[in-house]
Structure 1
Amino acid sequence: MTDRPVGPSTYFRPEHAEGLDARTRALIARRDRAMGGAYRLFYREPVEFVRGAGTKLYTAAGEEFLDAYNNVPSVGHAHPRVSAAIAAQASLVNTHTRYLHPAVVDYSERLLATLPAEIGHVMLTCTGSEANDLALRVARDVTGHTGAIVTAYAYHGVTIATASLSPSLVGADAVEPWVRLVPSPVDDPAAFVNGVRDAIASLDAAGIGLAALFVDTVFSSDGVQSEGSFLQPVAGLVRAAGGLFVADEVQAGFGRLGHGMWGFERHGIVPDAITFGKPAGNGMPIAGFAARDAVIDGFGARQRYFNTFGGTPVSVAAAQAVLDVIADEELVANAAGIGSRLGAAVRALDAPEVGAVRGAGLYWGIDIVDDAGRPDEARALDIVNGMRDRRVLIAASGPRNHTLKVRPPLPFSDADADRFVVALGETLMATRS
């Protein structure tokens, strides 16, 4: 296990408490006593929110923050249609999938209609972590192999299995022996392809074999990459080795990239399986695993699956409302239009600290570099906190913690984009002094 906690450089640390007001210090102390040391808080000055609306969050004092970070409320904080759907179903019944209920079938059919025809079945969970855990379980059953491949700074979940698929969470030296790490395509797509080839050979040599390659199709923890054809040859390598290509759409899915509903569409591939989560219920716990018929049919013939809270009527009501809002408010097109404008405006800033700007739709990674063009984690940290001081929420990402991560709710507007770019320009200038 690594001695250095891994993760974004924007976390609150105990030494930051000195400048906080007495109430905030007391709440942090109570939180630490009750919840332990594994939890983290964002920002040198943590912020407490009491309500949200659309792309905005509000403190108890009425301060308004622009949310340019949270992709869980994908159709906006406290969307009235989602809230109404939750309340209406909660007043009727909320039970599990061992009883018949048309809503869960309706949702499953509707979700499958957004996916390629080759993807024929869906299994519902509560979280993306559970979905990826289930994907690994199914892949091992179907292929007879146990090995997995992920990128070097990936994040795929918090269960005991998916933590080993998440070197950004546990550290590269803490993953299990059945996992192989490969370079991400953010810096060198060719190294990614060659790394997968070598990892397959390594798993075969160890007598483990490849069950699945897990890929976050926007490579969010690796520093954000949404472009390129590098996934096509990798899919071929994985299938030739008898493994499954699993597209983790927890970050990229539900229209975020402004190119259809799913991130893998931008790469011109059809995965063997897909996992999804966070944005599906706009904050309600619903996620899932979808795959080709043969994959799930084979698994289902040998094993059974049940999840007490996966696919309950209340969660499904929220998820149906999310799909309604995405369609009716044309949020995929909004992500494409506003996102393109946002990316162009950031690239146009006269700022030597801004290196590469990568992304699509409403998911962007902005590299912060020093005078020599090297990753500058300290400056990125100052910028994240400076944006918080200007009441705009972002975070940092990437293996060197120097990539600003921007992924706002999908209703992000022209005015929101203008506010973001102005705040970023002011913050960049302030960090030079």
Structure 2
Amino acid sequence: MINGFDPNQMGNLAAEEKRIIERRQALLGPAYKLFYQEPVHPVRGEGVWLYDAEGNAYLDAYNNVPSVGHCHPKVVAAVAQQAATLNTHTRYLDEHILNYSERLLATFPESLSRVMYTCTGSEAVDLALRIAKHFTGGTGVIITENAYHGVTTASAEISPSIGESVPIGQHVYTIPVPDKRNANGSDLGEVMAEHVNNALKTMRRHGIKPAAFIADGIFSTDGVFADPAGFLSDIKEAVEQAGALYIADEVQPGFGRTGSHMWGFQRHNMVPDIVVMGKPMGNGLPIAAVVMTAEIQENFGQQIRYFNTFGGNHVSIAAASAVLDILHEENLIENARLTGDYLIQGLRELGTQFSVIGETRGTGLFIGVDIVCDKDSHTPDGPLAITIVNALRQKKVLLSASGPNGNVLKIRPPLVFNREHADILLHALSEVLKSLV
């Protein structure tokens, strides 16, 4: 795991931290991983800040799940009020879920008019795959080489970034990441569509009918590839011509994070067949959803009974509704655009000062910064990236890394992150680079 803590390296940790880690290992086991060489122990959060027991503040430039900020007062109040009133499942009549569904669907293109609720993004991806396979009669799925889509059996099978110990599914085919540097000057959309068509040909050669292409529109675990805006429309056309469905995984880019639109796919001038979203919709509460066309949902719903016991429960719906209010009232999509542009510019300026910074990519408040050995050859330097991540942690600035080589600094803070916070991050990164390079 990139930026994972090694429990065998506890020599420099304080006695209390060692005790907690040992309890954690004994109770939760080795599958549960911690971040950083020296794990962080927050006891409370507020906005873009996490605080430890001594009151030290850590700038959170990484956690996208508390999308409108840690412990936002309006979300807290909505959750508390609803939890004190009623919290049950969707087999009883209730208008809260209907009111929220109308508001949510109003943010989508008109054709995407149905929604089904789950508790996690992994469940939403799992359900989307079931629906796509049922609608098309196919089983083949196309993903990118280092994708991540979840932890259920079905979603883990399309998540090669989890590692080689979790093999991809038998009918899952990978294509290269959308890195324009590998397009050799050709149109990136056309190049990616060609990769998709090649995967489709391989599928058919093996007697496999295609069901879906799925991607998060920011390609977060592939190394953060957002541009040029519009290149996904060529993929959508190739998928549609093959009789398969395009699934947009909006767990990462959705809810205004890209700074230009509510949904990441909207930057690409295309409309997917199915959209999945996860816990950022409820600021971390257990709520996720699948949005799709009425035709696709009718085909599935008339033949298959689906029920998720607490998917769309009252408390989670209250949190999700508060998030929609906050996005509008605090103008957070515009803030993501303005702050993101400012931060990207600052990071690119650092790239002129430090040769280890390669390309800076991103849109809004989702940014990737390549750490390289050599700018000319763009040779990835994963170990240095992790050293930088841990040095920033010592300066109480939290981010992490991604990409197949682990060399891309991944920056995706809560949407209330502003220029003041960006300046703190840029100053800390500059100080770290001066000490390391």
User: TM-score normalised by the shorter chain: which range applies?
Assistant: over 0.9
C-alpha distance after superposition, 1:55-81 (max 9, x if no partner): 000001110000000000000000000
Q: When the two structures are superposed, what TM-score results if normalisation uses the length of structure 1? A: 0.96
Instruction: Please name the residue that 2:215 is paired with.
Output: 215
| Aligned residue among 79, 82, 94 for 1:89 | 82
1:285 aligned onto 2:278: no
Structure 2 distance, partners of 1:221, 1:127, is: 18
Structure 1 distance, partners of 2:258, 2:298, is: 31
1:273 aligned onto 2:266: no
Please tell me whether the aligned partners of residues 16 and 45 of structure 1 are also in contact (alpha carbons under 8 angstroms): no
Please tell me whether the aligned partners of residues 371 and 408 of structure 2 are also in contact (alpha carbons under 8 angstroms): yes
- For 1:42-121, what aligned pairs fall within 5 Å after superposition? 42-121=35-114
> How many residues are matched?
425
Instruction: Please name the residue that 1:400 is paired with.
Output: 405
Instruction: Please name the residue that 1:262 is paired with.
Output: 263
Instruction: Please name the residue that 2:393 is paired with.
Output: 388
Quote the offset at 1:172 in angstroms: 8.8
Please tell me whether the aligned partners of residues 192 and 234 of structure 2 are also in contact (alpha carbons under 8 angstroms): no
In structure 1, the gaps of 5 or more residues are 1-6
Quote the offset at 1:26 in angstroms: 1.1
Please tell me whether the aligned partners of residues 156 and 166 of structure 2 are also in contact (alpha carbons under 8 angstroms): no
Q: When the two structures are superposed, what TM-score results if normalisation uses the length of structure 2? A: 0.96
Instruction: Please name the residue that 1:367 is paired with.
Output: 370
1:167 aligned onto 2:170: no
Change over 3 Å in CA distance of 1:17–1:172 after alignment to 2: closer
| Aligned residue among 130, 141, 151 for 1:137 | 130
Instruction: Please name the residue that 1:226 is paired with.
Output: 226
Instruction: Please name the residue that 1:205 is paired with.
Output: 205
Report the more deviating stretch, 153-162 or 172-181: 172-181
Quote the offset at 1:170 in angstroms: 3.6
Identity within the alignment, %: 48
Quote the offset at 1:173 in angstroms: 7.5
C-alpha distance after superposition, 1:147-188 (max 9, x if no partner): 101000000000001101100014398112110011010353
Instruction: Please name the residue that 1:354 is paired with.
Output: 357
Please tell me whether the aligned partners of residues 391 and 432 of structure 2 are also in contact (alpha carbons under 8 angstroms): yes
Instruction: Please name the residue that 1:430 is paired with.
Output: 435
Instruction: Please name the residue that 1:4 is paired with.
Output: none
Quote the offset at 1:293 in angstroms: 1.1
> What's the RMSD between the two structures over aligned residues?
1.1
Please tell me whether the aligned partners of residues 124 and 289 of structure 1 are also in contact (alpha carbons under 8 angstroms): yes
1:252 aligned onto 2:253: yes
Structure 1 distance, partners of 2:394, 2:222, is: 26
Instruction: Please name the residue that 2:416 is paired with.
Output: 411
Structure 2 distance, partners of 1:218, 1:361, is: 11
SS in 2 for 1:416: helix
Structure 1 distance, partners of 2:208, 2:51, is: 51
SS in 1 for 2:410: strand
Please tell me whether the aligned partners of residues 94 and 312 of structure 1 are also in contact (alpha carbons under 8 angstroms): yes
1:25 aligned onto 2:18: yes
Quote the offset at 1:290 in angstroms: 0.4
Q: What one-letter code is carried by the residue in structure 2 that aligns with 1:94?
A: N
Structure 2 distance, partners of 1:369, 1:361, is: 23
In structure 2, the gaps of 5 or more residues are 183-187
Change over 3 Å in CA distance of 1:141–1:216 after alignment to 2: same
Please tell me whether the aligned partners of residues 226 and 266 of structure 1 are also in contact (alpha carbons under 8 angstroms): no
Structure 1 distance, partners of 2:95, 2:81, is: 16
